[in-house]
């Protein structure tokens, strides 16, 4: 996965993200903690909050994709694998709550060998 693949002009493209992950735009919205309308209207797609959530999700997927050997494996992990130390919450749950920084810190800790 390359981050540039998901950018269209000056913004992350929900359509490109959905195509790259073989899913729907509605699923991308749900996975980023956004409402369906946030990804259906051009003015809402480019809103700072929408772009931040899409960027956070893409950054996390980009970071874990090599571990799983594919973007689809990374997306499955993001949506379904509980993270230790977060009470059974997944990366997706944390991102939807605005806690993407906690996921990135968790990945830093895993890379440093703290969590195994």
Q: What is the band of 1 on the pLDDT scale with cuts at 50, 70, 90?
A: low
**Residues forming beta bridges with residue 7, ordered by sequence position:** 12
């996921």: which residue's tokens? 103
CA angle 105, 110, 112 (to 5 degrees): 95
Q: What is the rounded average pLDDT of the residues 79-105? A: 96
What is the residue extent of each domain of the chain?
Answer: 3-111
In order of 57, 77, 84, 100, the CA distances from 103 in angstroms are 10, 12, 11, 5
33 or 116: which carries more pLDDT confidence?
33
* CB neighbours of residue 13 within 10 Å: 19
* pLDDT tens digits, one per residue of 2-49: 888 899 989 999 999 999 999 999 999 999 999 988 998 888 999 999
Q: Report the alpha-carbon distance of residue 42 to residue 9 in Å, rounded.
A: 12
């Amino acid at each position: 996965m390359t981050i540039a693949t998901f950018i269209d002009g000056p913004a992350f493209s929900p359509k490109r993200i959905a195509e790259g992950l073989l899913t729907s735009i509605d699923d991308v919205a749900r996975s980023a903690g956004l409402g369906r309308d946030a990804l259906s209207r051009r003015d809402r797609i480019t809103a700072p909050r929408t772009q931040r959530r899409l960027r956070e999700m893409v950054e996390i997927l980009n970071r874990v994709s090599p571990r799983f050997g594919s973007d689809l494996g990374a997306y499955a992990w993001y949506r379904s694998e509980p993270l230790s130390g977060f009470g059974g919450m997944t990366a997706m749950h944390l991102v939807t709550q605005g806690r993407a920084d906690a996921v990135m810190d968790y990945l830093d800790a895993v890379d440093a060998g703290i969590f195994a």
